[in-house]
Amino acid sequence: MILDLVLILILAFFIYRGVRKGFAKSVLGLFSFVISIALAFCLYQPVSGFVKNSAYGQKIYEATREKLAGQVEIKLPGVLPGAVAQTVNEAAGNTLDSVSRSFSDMIINVLSFVLLIILIKLLLFLLSKAVDLVAKLPLLKQANSFLGLLFGILNGAIFVMIVLAFFSSTQNLPWGGWFVAELEKSALAKALYDKNFLLLYIGK
């Protein structure tokens, strides 16, 4: 009975949130982060490639090289012949160029990726606002709320199944006996537990 009450409260929360936000906004909110990450992965390489070949990319490279050059100094013995010293200095310069290029490329890649996520999230936020305005039109408002209710039920059911799957894996812990006893006394929790697709899939 206690489990049933807890699960009903959880489902009620998700249903309320789904109805309040509506279907369109709920879906956009759920997938906006995933979409942002996926699109950023697809787009960051061409964007970073463009930046690397631009004046900004050159400035980042020069700043990185200057920073590294100040930390890496090669002190050569004064007895080395001039030709040998020149060769060593050229090799050191080439190494510094290579390391600086790698560091600056990494900086540009990370900045491109993060900025793309922020930009895509912003665009999706503006899109969600536009969708929300359309969804508030009289003809669509009721349908949006009803679909939001269904989406809330689905979200709540999935969350509950995850919680039940977690507790099912802790039956040997101190609270495991309480969980099993409460599960046997419940109706809703027992039904969701028996039909838990996560347990059916993971338990194979």
Report pLDDT digits (tens) over 79-137: 434 443 444 344 445 576 777 778 788 888 888 888 888 898 888 888 777 766 766 66
Non-local (6+) Cβ contacts of 54 within 8 A are none
Contact 116, 40 (CB under 8 A): yes
What is the spatial distance between Cα 68 and Cα 89, in angstroms, rounded to a whole number? Answer: 15
What is the reported pTM? 0.50
CA–chain centroid gap for 172, Å, is 33
What's the number of CA atoms in the CB half-sphere (13 Å) around residue 164? 28
Q: Reduce the DSSP state of residue 54 to 3 states and report it.
A: coil
